[in-house]
Amino acid sequence: MLLKVNAPLDPGFMPMAVVFRDFQAAVKAAGGQKLVVGLERNDGLTSVFSFEVFEDGTGHDEENHEFVERIVKTLLWTRGGYKIIIAGSDVIADKIKADYSVGGYRDFDREFMSGVYETPFEVVSVPLDKAPESKEAASPVGRHLDGCRIGFDAGGSDRKVSSVVEGEATYSEEVVWFPKLQSDPQYHYDGIMEAMKTAASKMPRVDAIGVSTAGVVVGNRIMTSSLFLKVKNENPEAFEKVVKNIYTDIAKELGDVPIEVANDGDVTALAGAMDLGDNNVLGVAMGTSEAGGYVDGSGNITGWLNELAFVPADYNKDAMVDEWSGDYGCGVKYFSQDSVIKLAPRAGIKLDESASPAEKLKVVQKLMAEGDERARKIYETIGVYFGYAVAYYALFYDIKHVLLMGRVSSGEGGNILLANARRALSEEFPELAEKITIHLPDESSRRVGQSIAAASLPNIR
């Protein structure tokens, strides 16, 4: 594969955007057939994506399968769903069905989605004339700044809460806590309640509560979240009884206050949209993992999963495997501290194996601050990765702005990353570079904006 911008430390990198472009060109030259993939999720909502594949039985069946499997994986983790509908090819559908069977190639994804939507997972094949139709329901949440509101942001190392009166944060606090280490749901309940009551005490009344939280949220319920992972693993009954409805139950206890709970990535994108005064914003945070959020052209949150950590970034089957999902080439190994750690030995930097991932990242960041050329190569490589990833994300999101965030993007390394992302996008996909701007917002403005954005989620009128 010939790229216009190469990843300095990863000569085998095969960006998904280029694979998609080349595959579609090859199919067009050979004469292909249309394939429609539908993803059905809660309330019958359905996302649809169509593209061309080689005709069945022309010697390209395995090539079709390998390509479609990556697209289905992408759709599953950007949109979410418990039913995959393949229209236009029984041959491809049967292979995807085998991938997502119990014990199959994509068993992790099947089980995860089944748990999120509390529905058995399935793959079905239908004729092209019975292809599913799009049914989306983006929620016009956020940007409501009237009244007295609480904005709560649940993070893995601290929790933030703000009192927001007529759009102004009149009080904010950050409290260190350790939710990922606690299997007792009472720890979580008490911590959240304490934060809510503190914010409430700073205002004459509480008209609404907005919550920004890590994890998958469906109908204000926590379906899964790293913050509550110990509860879910060690006390699953308590997770079902206490955690899933923890925020709505607290709102009821505070006087049945209107509440809106959203994924923290979506709230970050909403905060960015409010700050930019524009829409079509994709937020990507490179930290412990890769987090994503999206605000559409109407300024709405879509209800999609936006779990970009599991979205393929590299088509190369020899790419590093994610330990959790067992899959190769996924975003978590390209846009998180894992990527820095992965690339360090290739750059000639030896890291202490006994150090934590966060400590290893700090070592590289320190070298970068000292002007180390080896560290620079790491950030140049991640930047190239990201420029190509933005082009791939643009196939599935209508994007005008990309907000680049997270600890990996901090310091001088972030500037190098940004410059190389912009270069890769502009040289390989100039038509996209004219439309999409990649931003690196400063940390301080983002913190205040996040609390106000969270508080603005519910509509109290």
Burial letters 422-458, b for 16+ CB under 10 A, else e = bbbbbebbeebbeebebebbeeeebbebbbbbbbbbb
In this prediction the pTM is 0.90
Give residue-wise pLDDT tens across range 349-385: 999 999 988 899 999 999 999 999 999 999 999 999 9
Mean pLDDT of the chain: 94
Domain 31-130 class in CATH: alpha beta
Q: How far, in whole angstroms, is CA 43 from its chain's centroid?
A: 22
Q: Is the pLDDT of residue 445 over 60?
A: no
Query: With the CA atoms of 350, 388, 290 and 353 taken in that order, what torsion angle do they form, in degrees rounded to the nearest 10?
Result: -10
What topology does CATH give the domain 275-449?
Nucleotidyltransferase; domain 5 (3.30.420)
pLDDT of residue 443: 58
Q: What percent of the chain has pLDDT over 70?
A: 98
Q: Is the pLDDT of residue 444 over 60?
A: no
Are the beta carbons of 258 and 460 closer than 8 angstroms? yes
Q: Is 237 exposed, middle or buried (0-12, 13-18, 19+ CB in 10 A)?
A: exposed
Q: Report d(CA 258, CA 132) in Å as an integer.
A: 35
Q: How far, in whole angstroms, is CA 394 from its chain's centroid?
A: 14
Maximum mean pLDDT: which of 157-161, 274-278, 403-407, 424-428: 424-428
pLDDT of residue 267: 87
Give residue-wise pLDDT tens across range 158-209: 888 999 999 999 999 989 898 988 999 999 999 999 999 999 999 999 999 9
- CATH 3.30.420.40 occupies which residues in the chain? 148-268, 275-449
pLDDT of residue 114: 96
Give residue-wise pLDDT tens across range 32-57: 999 999 999 999 999 999 999 999 99
Q: Report d(CA 276, CA 132) in Å as an integer.
A: 35
Q: Is the pLDDT of residue 449 over 70?
A: no
How confident is residue 453, by pLDDT bands cut at 50, 70 and 90?
confident
Homologous superfamily in CATH for domain 148-268: ATPase, nucleotide binding domain (3.30.420.40)
CB proximity list for 169: less than 8 A, separation 6 or greater: 151, 162, 163, 448, 451, 452, 455
Q: Is the pLDDT of residue 446 over 70?
A: no
